[in-house]
Structure 1
């Protein structure tokens, strides 16, 4: 666990700040750190006083007029813009006295030819009062919305620690009967009144009886419990290449040079390449100037070459890896490792979900690549293009095949829209599109629960509905990429070189009863103090974030009498005798506490097949000083949470809410940076530059959505005016509530382009390392 600040921020009531359309528009473009005067409204009075006392020699005036603080400067540095000077005071002119008559001149007689009202009616004409100024039009108030000011109550969970489990312990931990927190190093055993011993849970105050198992649990903050031992063995998991051989895969790309002429081609590809080369030679005969050599490579040829290179690499370094091949166009052909006759799937079989799954489960697993590499390469280069795209049936079949070996991977490579069989996406009516979307949602859950990682590669310039296909990859910890066909080999290598650390991973975070998770609710719609993330497959870069808030006690009802007032906290409570004057003010449930416990429980299956539970318990101090928590903020954790939260809302079509959430976090980082001097400027620039791609894309998507027919002006900051459906889901034995998308959000989701979906899914997997200073930005 990594916290966004050194202390937990305790508050009685959430702070709010006003967000305008102008703020959102500015956040979509890079903005330098605000000057101290503009941001002083976010600072405590003591800090503003310090700014007011900054010496003149510590100020640099730049071209924008801002006065950034430079504490390390010893002398003033002025550039081409001088310091702003206050205007001279206005002095009322003193009327002159006529020496002959002794009378004072009127105001209008004091006008001179240079005065603005001198020529109102021409020189020499009798002067009259100037006309009234034109009436000003009322200024339209800019749309705004009150939003909760972001705070540092955020936790990041990184899964790279699963590589080296800490303090192994055989057996299972002891859990609290109420909140399911595990007995740990921070737990205390105390005697009860009847002579027995109890464990009073530090999270929910439940009194649990002490068992013999508690005495044998080591007193360590980080423990790994081996629930069930594994069978061991080498890395014999499977890789299924699911390749598109539809007609659009024959599209060619002209590649300068002759470096690709020696690659292996199938018969049809060789004939096509020779024909194009002949045409190019004829054209060169009538072209003056130097002759340029060019090779035409189709998408299928580029894919075949990339797969063949990966097969050769795996044969050399991962001889036990099992590699299979599934091809699809109008039909689905299960080739496997190439040692057996291909099995076709066509006709009505492309719509029978259960039959497809059964076929995948009984199909023999591929043999080790060291035994079948040459045979499989021949099958790869025997593929030819033609037909439509039965992507849905091929996907669920490939996942069923890979599910025989938990920890296996499915790599989808396509350039077209699914239009045959299950999961057809070339539909116009909402009913059929919703069914297709539900199909890919189901495949994602099925793959995650079976320990299969799915990655999706699509071709640039094509509409493949990555927003739906990427949902499968997102649920299984896979990668989503829209690539140039000539770079397929590099993308295949990135996917295969990313080892799987564990499967069937779920992370449960337990909080004190005085805290709650902002995005998690139970079946009754109430916020809960423990939340679970089903991660499925994790690798060394996997990371997820949690955001929590502070519960407040219910406002107590006050009954005033002649003696100063008495209170009733609940209907069944007795009336208290002593008067209570502050009972109507909300109070934090952790008021008076100095530290709070946190516990992370990670259930996972290791690469050796063992079932494990890792329990990490720690506590953190509490403070009510927002300024102190922001000064000690971990910007990397805040950035990862902002990116993941914004991307999660974006894929659901909630662009306005995503923009606001990113903006309030950016303002928090800005306040933090202003307190850090020059170092803070670098941190702020890194944060803004890393978050800029999704903020810019959200701005374009939100602007386009508001320009659709029927959009109302009031939709500037809000996304939806229809209510989302609510349904119940089960996480283990626990019920929780999940809200579906509104009709408007579904419409927006359908219009998300492949480029946008690619960016959104990458940012959903954002990590805190991306926001570290001097780190490279995410490759889009």
Structure 2
């Protein structure tokens, strides 16, 4: 990416403001034309790579010059009559005489030969209006209309809402206009899509917080309405701040605490020498379908191995590698078929659950709580290897109870990982995914079960990854909710690649849990597509790994909103808040506040647009809509951002941008065109369509992708 395209937070002066008791004006800044102007001597805001904007400005589309059509005008397709209507009767005598003539006509006569005037109920009104033209000379002499007052000099001869139609159609000649540069005029047109995107690199932000940012003890002062971090002398009495003020606000408002980032410690430090070590738990399917074999080549020979044998080899390789490189890792094993097996340790026996024991959720949680945590792998290596080698295939697939038990065991250790490997749908009572076409009520209860289980895992700081074996149907659209909510992976792997997938999941360590990101804007802007609309967006991220990146999309408020959009040339402030818990259970809050200049100039935005950030946001937003069943909205979102990228490429005209764009289009081709290949039914007509396993794996992965992996899928 070129240097001018790096749209990170610009090096603008920071703002650390407080209010004066006497004047009520902020100290350290002055207000000019409604914009905050920073005073000198304030600490500058350094470039922060963990929060980047897609372009160097906040883009506000220009207001189109569209006038509302007057209600007095006829409809567009209305044809005005060419001849005037007949005049109204001049007196009641004429009306009475005409009616008598009609009554005296014989039945054989045609009435159309008698020419009479139409009777109007408001004849008196017409008598007054047309007395000057329709009445006799005697009446006109008696009743004369008052003269009109002189027309003001500044008034037009013909009002704007009137239009005179010619009696015959004629060809009007337009005034010749000077020829303009079409390319330049095209660049100045309003932009398609939305370039207002902010990227938050959570992995970078959290890993370097302790090194680059000064730590402040205690909870910061926050606005009671929107929760923005403030700096005000009115402690605990802050009701309105810069971010939630509106046009009716008359009292002085608090402004952002400062325009460079701050790190707060929200809880006292615990003893770092005794952190809760995370655990790694394998949850392996040993049902009868795991006996199906696949053909592979080993040492130039063709051999057949069952799916369970591939899973066994993958787990054994992980045990061996961890014992050599990370011997203190706590590693445990749970298997499931028609029963669930909690494999014990050298000094603790194995525990089995079957039949009615696998129905009660609270009972399963109590069993998991009473089962001891696994010891370090260097103490339990031999026992683990014997247990893995002795696995046999048989029976049904009690995946639901096994997943609940495994997650409940890992919940005692925040930052733990759970790896579920299966080759089929759950088909026991709890979490049944096989009766989708027989009993819709059962499928709905299973959907709720996996949603709640994912929420429970995320609240306990557990990351769940789901691996299915290639060529099987596991209903990953439902089972993948566990990984989606906890930040894990959803993978369809060939049997001989299970070890590589296991290794990748293990190496992707968790650096923080219980992460919540808030993005605040002034009321003149609004966040798009988040839980809270308007000017605040909240994203519950959960677990964070070093490569985690999320994006927010925002834009100007509607012109008819309570607070109109900011004007071009002004400056607005945005605030990012990240709350998270470290692995040693210390809680932190990082606040970054930055000023951004507003513009409605399309060329300025296009020249500074970062294609990579817009592409990442489009991929994440489109996938997020699709996994919720909103396929039509997903296609619309993807196509709008695609037009924006094409506009930027046409404006900048660089080979680098074109190559980057074509690679992204190839990745997003299936989503931009249609979702037919990703759904189980070949029509996208409602939100009730379900995803295939391949579609679910693709969309869940794309929803949590980053700039490094976006072109790999």
Same-fold call, TM > 0.5?
yes
1:149 paired residue number: 192
Query: Which residue, out of 287, 290, 293, partners 1:246?
Result: 287
CA contact (8 A) 1:642 1:662 kept: yes
1:286 corresponding residue in structure 2: none
* Corresponding residue number in structure 2 for 1:450: 460
Distance 1:659 1:318 in 2: 45
Aligned with 1:7 (options 26, 36, 57): 57
Query: Shift of the alpha carbon at 1:511?
Result: 0.9
Question: Which of 530, 542, 546 lines up with 1:540 in the alignment?
Answer: 546
Residue 311 in structure 1 maps to residue 319 in structure 2: yes
Q: Is the 8 A contact 1:154 1:641 kept in 2?
A: yes
Q: Provide, for residues 439-465 of structure 1, a one-character-per-residue CA deviation record: whole Å limited to 9, x for no partner.
A: 111111010011000001100000011
What is the aligned partner in structure 1 of residue 133 from structure 2?
Answer: none
Closer, same or farther: CA 191–661 of 1 in aligned 2, 3 Å: closer
Which structure 2 residues correspond to residues 136-215 of structure 1 after superposition, within 5 A?
Answer: 149-160=192-203, 161-165=205-209, 166-183=213-230, 201-205=241-245
* Secondary structure in structure 2 of the residue aligned to 1:548: strand
Instruction: State whether residues 319 and 368 of structure 1, in contact with CA within 8 Å, keep that contact through their aligned partners in structure 2.
Output: yes
Output the CA distance in 2 between the equivalents of 1:694 and 1:538.
25
Q: 1:520 Cα deviation (Å)?
A: 3.3
2: CA distance, partners of 1:320 / 1:305: 21
Query: Aligned ranges for residues 154-553 of structure 1 at < 5 Å?
Result: 154-160=197-203, 161-165=205-209, 166-183=213-230, 201-205=241-245, 221-228=260-267, 229-233=269-273, 236-258=277-299, 293-337=301-345, 339-427=347-435, 428=437, 429-520=439-530, 527-553=533-559
Q: Distance in 1 between matches of 2:708 and 2:397?
A: 39
Q: CA–CA distance in 2 between the matches of 1:468 and 1:203? A: 39
**How big is the shift at 1:319?**
2.1
State the match for 2:8 in structure 1: none
Give CA-to-partner distance per residue, 1:475-530, whole Å, 9 cap, x none: 100011100111111000000000101001110111111111222365xxxx3211
Distance verdict in 2 for CA 1:688–1:588, change over 3 Å: farther
Tell me whether 1:760 sits opposite 2:699 in the alignment.
yes
How large is the RMSD of aligned CA atoms in angstroms?
3.3
Alpha-carbon distance in 2 for matches of 1:50, 1:444? 51
Bigger Rg over Cα: 2
Structure 1 contact 444–471 (Cα < 8 Å) conserved: yes
Relative to structure 1, the CA distance from residue 449 to residue 612 in structure 2 (aligned partners, 3 Å threshold; closer, same or farther) is same
| 1:387 match: secondary structure | coil
Deviates most, 449-458 or 247-256:
247-256
**SS of residue paired to 1:745:** coil
Alpha-carbon separation, structure 2, partners of 1:218 and 1:476: 32
Q: How far has the Cα of 1:592 moved from its partner? A: 6.5
Structure-1 separation of matches of 2:346 and 2:499: 21
The secondary structure found in structure 1 opposite 2:431 is coil
How big is each residue's C-alpha offset from its partner over 1:255-278, in whole Å with a ceiling of 9 and x where there is no partner?
2234xxxxxxxxxxxxxxxxxxxx
CA distance in 2, matches of 1:473, 1:231: 31
- What SS is found at the alignment partner of 1:462? coil
- Secondary structure, counterpart of 2:652 in structure 1: coil
Return the alpha-carbon distance in structure 2 between the equivalents of residues 446 and 15 of structure 1. Answer: 52
1:700 Cα deviation (Å)?
5.1
What residue is the counterpart of 2:157 in the other structure?
none
**8 Å CA contact 1:511, 1:530 repeated in 2:** yes
Q: Structure 2 length normalisation: TM-score?
A: 0.70
Residue in 2 that maps onto 1:657: 633
Which of residues 575, 579, 582 in structure 2 aligns to 1:603?
579
Per-residue CA deviations over 1:177-205 (Å, capped at 9, x if unaligned) read 2221002xxx6x6999xxx9989733224
Q: Residue 608 of structure 1: CA displacement?
A: 1.7
Q: CA deviation at 1:657?
A: 2.2
Report if aligned partners of 1:15, 1:149 keep a CA contact under 8 Å in 2.
no
**1:351·1:422 contact (CA, 8 Å) conserved in 2?**
yes
Deviation of 1:769 after TM superposition, in Å, equals 3.6
Distance verdict in 2 for CA 1:605–1:758, change over 3 Å:
same
The 8 Å contact of residues 408 and 452 in structure 1, kept in 2 or not, is answered as yes
Residue pair 1:338, 1:376 contacting (<8 A) in 2 also: no
- Cα 1:45–1:302 change in 2 (3 A) is farther
Distance 1:619 1:660 in 2: 31
1:696 corresponds to: 670
CA distance in 2, matches of 1:251, 1:415: 10
- Contact 2:639–2:672 (Cα < 8 Å) also in 1: no
Residues 415, 459 of structure 1: 8 Å contact kept: yes
TM-score, normalised to structure 1, is: 0.64
Q: Deviations over 1:115-172 (max 9, x none)?
A: xxxxxxxxxxxxxxxxxxxxxxxxxxxxxxxx99312111111111201212211111
Deviations 1:565-613 (A, max 9, x none): xxxx9xxxxxxxxxxxxxxxxx933236611111111110112210111
Distance 2:638 2:180 in 1: 27
CA deviation after TM superposition for structure 1 residue 658, in Å: 1.5
CA distance in 2, matches of 1:339, 1:207: 71
2:368–2:409 CA contact under 8 A, matched in 1? yes
Alignment match, 2:106: none
| Aligned counterpart, 1:560 | none
**What SS is found at the alignment partner of 1:355?**
helix
Match of 1:48 among 183, 190, 194: 183
**Structure 2: runs of 5+ lacking an equivalent:** 1-50, 67-178
Structure 1 residue matching 2:442: 3-state secondary structure: helix
Secondary structure at 2:266 match in 1 = strand
2:27 equivalent in structure 1: none
Contact 1:322 1:368 survives alignment (8 Å): yes
- Measure the CA separation in 2 of the matches of 1:353 and 1:237: 24
The structural deviation recorded for 1:694 is: 3.6
Measure, in 2, the Cα distance between the counterparts of 1:595 and 1:623: 9
Alpha-carbon shift at residue 349 of structure 1 (Å): 1.4
Closer, same or farther: CA 332–590 of 1 in aligned 2, 3 Å: same
**Structure 1 residue 643 and structure 2 residue 619: aligned?**
yes
Match of 1:683 among 657, 674, 697: 657
The reply to whether residue 588 of structure 1 matches residue 629 of structure 2 is no
1:545-584 matches, within 5 Å, as 545-554=551-560
Q: Distance in 1 between matches of 2:598 and 2:272?
A: 45
Q: Secondary structure at the match of 1:663?
A: helix
Structure 1 SS opposite 2:281: strand
Distance 1:198 1:450, change over 3 A: closer
Which range is displaced more, 650-659 or 321-330?
A: 650-659
Write the distance in 2 (CA, Å) between the matches of 1:454 and 1:448.
Answer: 9
- How far 1:12 sits from its partner (Å)? 5.5
> Residues 197, 653 of structure 1: CA spacing in aligned structure 2 closer, same or farther, 3 A cutoff?
closer
Do the aligned residues in 2 keep the contact of 1:647 with 1:761 (CA within 8 Å)? yes
